[in-house]
Amino acid sequence: MFPLHPHDPPSVGPHRLYARLGEDAYARVYLGAAGVEDPVAVKVVRPEYATSPAFRSAFTQQVEAAYGLNSAHVCAVRDADLRGAVPWVAVSRPLGPALADLVRHNGPLPVDALHPLALALAQGLADLHASDRAHGSLWPDGVLLSGRTALLADPGLEWAISDAEQRAPHPAFAAPEGGATPATDVFSWASTLCFAASGVEGPDGLARVPLQLRGLVDTCLKRDPRLRPSADDLVRMLGGPSGPQDWSPPVRAAIDSVADAQRSMLSTAAVTPRASTGDGGPPTRKRGRLMAAGAGVLALVVVAAAGAVFAHNRLGGAADQGRQSQGGEDDGAGALITDAGCLDGTGYPAPEEPLPEDTSFRDPRFSPDGDVLVTASSAGLSVWDWKEGEEVARPAEDSSPLAQPVFSPVGCTVAATRRVEYEGREYPVSVGYTYDLPAGTTTEHLGPQDGPDDSGRWLLKPLDVTGMAFSTDGGLLAVTVSAGYGEDSTVVVDTATGEAGEPMASGVHHGTVFVDDGHFATNDRGEIHVWDAETGEEVHVVQGAVGSSLAVVPGETQVVHLTSDRQIVVRDYTTGEEVASFTREEYETDDDPLLTELLADPARNRVYATWQVTTGEGAWRYSTYVWDTATGENLAEGNENIGKYTALVPHPDGEVLAATTVAESDLVLVDPDTFEVVRELG
């Protein structure tokens, strides 16, 4: 935002102008308002286009077609003069910065701001496309950030430039095939997200897009427009349609600072007296005071930006500079997740020796981007580049079987448990840790219990950590311990600061897993409970669960659990309605089967369930079912390979399964269709 120049008009139509917002492809853009109405962006066509019949015709068509569009994520056309000597259009303008300005002042957006941004812009495009319009000129300067959401700054009026001159308004963000179609909008959506994540113009910033969004963004950048998803597809894949998602506090603070500065300037300028021209023409204003007000706004915006830089750095890799690295442990507060990929390098020393031949593996899990695989073992915690067949890190030399390792959905942080000896305890205690693989930082998590006193002794505890889970945006980590009845079982840790909230979820709980950004679910062997991660309030209860296993269907309000009549059920936890159920026929002949693994695979629409079945004293076998969620068919029925594995764990894209074998507890990769071993890792 800039103060008005003496040669700028004081008003345009009924709209008094207060400051210059900048320029776009065809117009000078001003912040204005008519009386007590909300602010507008007044776009005054530049002279070279005002005299072009081709542009005026295309501009008129664009503006007239945009009237009546109703979208919470697209700024609406409010007024226009298309026949005057200098055409103009007024578009609603919520207070706040443009995306480009925020990134240029503060650096790339933190990870937790990218999903709300992506969903809001996708919903805006979907609304445009539903009205048979393409935007045609999406770029970071054309995205506004308000305190509530992100919006397209206009319905694509800049495309009038292309209609007149056959060139894309913003080539760095335009699709390679050119034109203005829903598919080109999707390409520009992806390019804009790359910029938001990296500060680099266009698709070149893809490598800095966080892992949980990178695959989707990459698909939208396909050269063949037929391979890109639609805007409606984007909305669904991002968990919408939905109302505006809250910005994280640092981002909201940065946006509000700019909005407050703009609001202050409007308030100051509104009381500036007008002077008459004496000839009945439009009123003029006293420039000195308004220019001072504009200069004050610029100073406020700079201050706000500086504050936002500090807040942003707390969320990114810079926040880890004061913490232990190279495998060191840290029990204090600090960011738990570095925004870097799993194959960008590891801060932990490379394994000096190969794993012993008799290493037994368990609980493999793929990273959300599918690049690496983590597994617990008798030799500790092991991370593999599975495509290369290489162990790339061994962040812990011990592991506990009480909680399965889990990856954060962003960055490359693993949460897992390992056994720790404590004075006065006969057996080792299972303690939770997070391992930030790129930074090489290890952080201890005790859950809702205090640590030892100055002598190193615990008065009554510690309790074992039995579950760890990240929220779907990576902003929270839930840590559950083996609490007794009447004791709180879980705390939720802010991964940006490392600070734990108040204890919650009283009672004995198992299977801790997040169902969305702000809620997690637990299983108490009788009911499924869904908890508000901030307040500790129980918001949903699902009856009829048995056992301790619990899974969720990503992107849905659905949990998967075992019932008392020995069925695996997929149930909507908000309504209690059954979505699907699967029966295991072997229950009729098996003796006390134990469900040991339960996973939902959205990539292939499958549910995986593995039972351990006793066959004699000290002997057992494993039985795995792979159900197609649409048909209920057991895809593993009759397959002679299926009994070789203690568990099958799907790759995020469904291209391969990770498994451990019954015979030798080896770590292997399995074909998802034939269930044959395609590679041995360890």
User: Among residues 93, 40, 97, 38, which one has the least CA distance to residue 260?
Assistant: 97
Give the integer Cα–Cα distance in Å for 360 and 353. Answer: 16
The residue ranges of every structural domain in the chain are 11-276+283-310, 322-508, 584-682
390 DSSP β-pair partners: 385
Alpha carbon distance 481, 487 (integer Å): 10
Predicted confidence (pLDDT) per residue in 422-438, tens digit? 776 778 889 999 999 98
Under DSSP, the state recorded for 344 is: S
**Strand, coil or helix: 154:** coil
Q: Which of 530, 598, 615 is nearest to 563 (CA)?
A: 598
User: Does 418 score more than 70 pLDDT?
Assistant: yes
Give the mean pLDDT of the chain: 83
Cβ atoms 613, 590 nearer than 8 A: yes
Q: Among all chains, which residue has been given the structure tokens 């103060």?
A: 3
Per-residue pLDDT tens for 292-313?
333 333 333 333 333 333 233 3
pLDDT for the residue numbered 454: 56
Q: Does 103 have pLDDT greater than 50?
A: yes
What angle (nearest 5°) sits at the alpha carbon of residue 653, between those of residues 651 and 654?
60
Q: What whole-number distance in Å separates Cα of residue 459 and Cα of residue 447? A: 16
Average pLDDT of the segment spanning 73-83: 90
* Per-residue tokens: 236: 């669904």
Encoded tokens for 558: 């659905």
Give the SS3 label for residue 466. Answer: strand
- Compute and round to an integer the Cα radius of gyration of the chain: 29
Count of Cβ atoms closer than 10 Å to residue 399 Cβ: 24
CB count in 10 Å sphere of residue 535: 12
Q: Where are the beta strands (DSSP E) in 378-498?
A: 380-385, 390-396, 406-407, 413-420, 429-436, 441-445, 465-470, 476-481, 488-494
pLDDT at position 323: 35
Condensed to tens digits (0 to 9), the pLDDT of residues 508-525 reads: 899 999 999 999 999 998
pLDDT of residue 338: 85
pLDDT value at residue 157: 85
Look up the CATH number of domain 11-276+283-310.
1.10.510.10
Nearest to 605 by CA among 654, 549, 658: 654
The pLDDT of 519-536, averaged and rounded, is 93
At 486, list the tokens: 């009447």
pLDDT value of position 137: 87
pLDDT per residue as tens digits for the range 211-239: 889 999 999 999 999 999 999 999 999 98
Given pLDDT bands bounded at 50, 70 and 90, which one contains residue 262?
confident
Q: How many CA atoms lie within 13 A of 226 on its CB side?
A: 0
Residue given tokens 């990856």 in the structure block: 407
Tell me if residue 182 falls in helix, strand or coil.
helix
With contact defined as beta carbons under 8 Å apart, do 62 and 27 qualify? Answer: no
**So what's the pLDDT on residue 518?**
93
pLDDT greater than 80 at residue 36: no
Nearest-angstrom CA–CA distance, 678 and 672: 10
Q: What is the pLDDT of residues 232-244, one digit of tens each?
A: 999 999 988 887 7
Structure tokens at 206: 């893809």
Residue scoring higher pLDDT (283 or 106): 106
Per residue in 330-385, pLDDT (tens digit) is 444 578 998 788 888 888 888 888 898 889 999 999 999 899 999 999 999 999 99
Token reading at 400: 């506990």
Residues 567 and 579: their CA atoms lie apart, in Å, by 13
Query: Is the pLDDT reported for residue 204 higher than 50?
Result: yes
Enter the tokens of residue 214: 């990178």
Cα–Cα dist 384/343, whole Å: 10
**CA distance linking residue 187 with residue 425, whole number of Å:** 59
Quickly state the pLDDT bin for 269 (edges 50, 70, 90): low
Distance CA 94, CA 147 (A): 9
Q: Which of 37, 35, 139, 34 is nearest to 88 (CA)?
A: 34
Kindly state the tokens that stand for 350. Answer: 């490379």
CATH number of 322-508: 2.40.128
The pLDDT value recorded for residue 298 is 38
pLDDT at 588: 58
DSSP 285-325: E-HHHHHHHHHHHHHHHHHHHHHHHHHHHHHSGGGGTTS--
Tell me how many degrees the CA angle 124-126-128 measures, rounded to the nearest 5: 70
pLDDT of residue 293: 35
The per-residue pLDDT for range 586-610, each reduced to its tens digit, is: 655 666 778 889 999 988 899 999 9
- Note the pLDDT of residue 536: 94
Our measurement of the distance from residue 240's CA atom to the centroid of its chain's CA atoms, rounded to an integer in Å, reads 13
Confidence band of 487 (pLDDT split at 50, 70, 90): confident
